Structure 1
Amino acid sequence: MPEYNGLLPLYKPRGMTSHDCVFRLRKLLKFKKIGHTGTLDPTVDGVLVLCLGKATKIAQYLLEYSKTYQGIVRLGTSTTTEDAEGEVIECEPVTGPIRRVDVEKVFQSFLGEIEQSVPMYSAVKVNGKKLYEYARAGITITPPSRKVKIYALDIEGRTSSFTTDIPFKVSCSKGTYIRTLAVDIGKKMGYPAHLFRLTRTQAGPFGIHECVTFDQIEQLLDEHQFENCLRPLEYGLNLMDRWVVDEQTAKQVGHGAVLPKPNHFEKGPHAVFDNQGKCLAIYQLHPEKPGMIKPDKVLAD
């Protein structure tokens, strides 16, 4: 059986779920230890980072990274699912062109921390049941809300006015529903709206330019060069706070020792590296011992 270790930046095609992508790669590689780092709706294409072998240990940390998307908000119609796949539930003609400056003002109002209602067609559970199960059964329920952050929200292109379609680019925190953002943008502009199209262009340190398609993977496998497209797990931790330790401390870290907190160690997990650039562990502040740190995940062999 082959053995693979590393991170695969996959270009997820439209029409496949994240689980579909994992299933297909498992069949292609004949290798089971593969996981993904956050779901993408079937209608969305773009960056999906897969973890293979030992790299599955850091999947939970990659989930925390911010994401960037490009998409289109379509004004004038809203749908059951908040995207183009749902049934139309409201229509209102867009009267006249909408000025770019007015769109920019609406976009500015969403920057920073905002509160979103979780869409009814989602897998979030309420009382042990997924929201989309309530929706499909026609059961009315108040969905939960969550706080997310919008770091940037800009119009794509130089168009001076718009009719129904507004192209945008957004950078946001984990857990942000872009479908809901599109609907809320429409509400602020006075129209029903839905997310017409969406592509994830960045996930943490991984950009769409470095993603490989399934066709490319098959070709690389035929040429026995598949491992060339894998990134080491250290690459996936590039955006995490880093602590490089000496040889003696590296041995302690490798054994999962509780250690005194270094001066630079603030809140949030830190990736601990040795002098050769290998990540040994993820450490965090000790919840019960002030001034100490403990391993959250030991990665050393």
Structure 2
Amino acid sequence: MDGILPLWKPKGMTSHDCVMKVRKLLHTKKVGHTGTLDPEVEGVLPICIGQATKIVPFLTDTKKTYIAEMFLGIATETEDSYGEVIASKTVNHSFTEEEIDAALNSFRGKITQIPPMYSAVKVNGKKLYEYARQHIDVERPKRQVEIYELKKLPNKQPSNQVFRLKIVCSKGTYIRTLCVDIGKKLGYPAHMSALERIQTGAFAKEDTVNFAELEKAATSDDAKFLLLPIVSGLQHLKTLEVDEKTKVRVRHGQKLPRPDSITSADPFKVMHGNELLAVYQVHPDHHNEIKPVRVFNEN
């Protein structure tokens, strides 16, 4: 069984929990997820099965889209609604759309973030949340991320404390930290009170399958019909079309002369018609050649 299961991860489960449950339901060990979601967050979590596990690094690297809820006036140690309150300030100002957009504008594009202490980022071989639980303060590494889109959405109920945000961002972006930083820009402590990931790469919320649907399909051996083809996870990569003769060479994992159409060092998918053959890249030492990164076996 090879393909991508566009799973809707429920609250209360880790991404690893989801992988273990899919393994059990589909009776296969070759299962991997494509970008961690915190247990209290729900959303799109593509699960790669069989040969699709070969593309996990490429799917992890895609843009992510979130709907976040930012709560103004209270900051927590975990930067979300599950942590202890560490600061509070009464919000007695009703922000205009112009004021909010001016604050959001300073976070659009490439920004630098400092990961929260309650995160899995490692410092000296130890995860930050392990230091946090021991009340040990360590210097956290800065990281550059990119915010492609950031806008305020209409509130479900009128409030000068709760703001709904749509965020399209690069991998590695901490939405919790973004909410805290936006709050600071507005002059208040803040935290992320809710979060949904509605898209990862080409996989959107409307494409997803929940565990109830998967369990039902697994009992009747119909689970394979829920899987999307491996190539659907590589839509963001450029395509090199090859002929029948070159297809054989690609299947054998051979290096090839670099075509004129390949103008960047980014990985690209190699196709023969509708058939995904491999992912190749420009050879790092011989720029006139391309070499395989992943080769997919013939079904």
TM-score using structure 2 length:
0.96
* Cα distance in 2, alignment partners of residues 8 and 75 from structure 1: 36
| 8 A contact 2:3–2:228 mirrored in 1 | yes
* Cα distance in 2, alignment partners of residues 290 and 33 from structure 1: 34
* Cα distance in 1, alignment partners of residues 54 and 233 from structure 2: 11
User: For 1:185, which of 179, 182, 198 is the aligned residue?
Assistant: 182
Cα shift readout 1:150-170 (whole Å, capped 9, x = no counterpart): 000011127898411000100
- The amino acid of 2:270's aligned partner reads V
> What residue in structure 1 maps to residue 280 of structure 2?
283
> What residue in structure 2 maps to residue 270 of structure 1?
268
1:219 offset after TM fit, Å?
1.5
* Cα distance in 2, alignment partners of residues 73 and 249 from structure 1: 53
* Cα distance in 2, alignment partners of residues 51 and 158 from structure 1: 35
User: For 2:128, which of 107, 120, 131 is the aligned residue?
Assistant: 131
* Cα distance in 2, alignment partners of residues 222 and 259 from structure 1: 45
* Cα distance in 1, alignment partners of residues 225 and 57 from structure 2: 24
1:96 offset after TM fit, Å?
2.4
> What residue in structure 1 maps to residue 23 of structure 2?
26
> What residue in structure 2 maps to residue 86 of structure 1?
83
> What residue in structure 1 maps to residue 141 of structure 2?
144
| 8 A contact 2:155–2:162 mirrored in 1 | no
Judge which range, 158-167 or 87-96, deviates more: 158-167
> What residue in structure 1 maps to residue 62 of structure 2?
65
| 8 A contact 1:100–1:161 mirrored in 2 | no
> What residue in structure 2 maps to residue 235 of structure 1?
232
Runs of at least 5 residues in structure 2 that lack an aligned partner in the other structure? none
* Cα distance in 1, alignment partners of residues 8 and 287 from structure 2: 44
| 8 A contact 1:9–1:47 mirrored in 2 | yes
* Cα distance in 2, alignment partners of residues 163 and 65 from structure 1: 33
- The amino acid of 2:232's aligned partner reads Y
SS of the equivalent of 1:98 reads coil
> What residue in structure 1 maps to residue 214 of structure 2?
217
Equivalent residue pairs, number: 297
* Cα distance in 2, alignment partners of residues 297 and 156 from structure 1: 40
- The amino acid of 1:197's aligned partner reads A
- The amino acid of 2:293's aligned partner reads D
- The amino acid of 1:118's aligned partner reads P
> What residue in structure 2 maps to residue 15 of structure 1?
12
* Cα distance in 2, alignment partners of residues 197 and 161 from structure 1: 17
* Cα distance in 1, alignment partners of residues 9 and 72 from structure 2: 27
TM-score using structure 1 length:
0.95
Judge which range, 19-28 or 191-200, deviates more: 19-28
Equivalent residue runs for 1:94-109 within 5 Å = 94-109=91-106
> What residue in structure 2 maps to residue 203 of structure 1?
200
- The amino acid of 1:53's aligned partner reads G
Cα shift readout 1:242-292 (whole Å, capped 9, x = no counterpart): 1111111111111111111111112200000012x1111111111111221
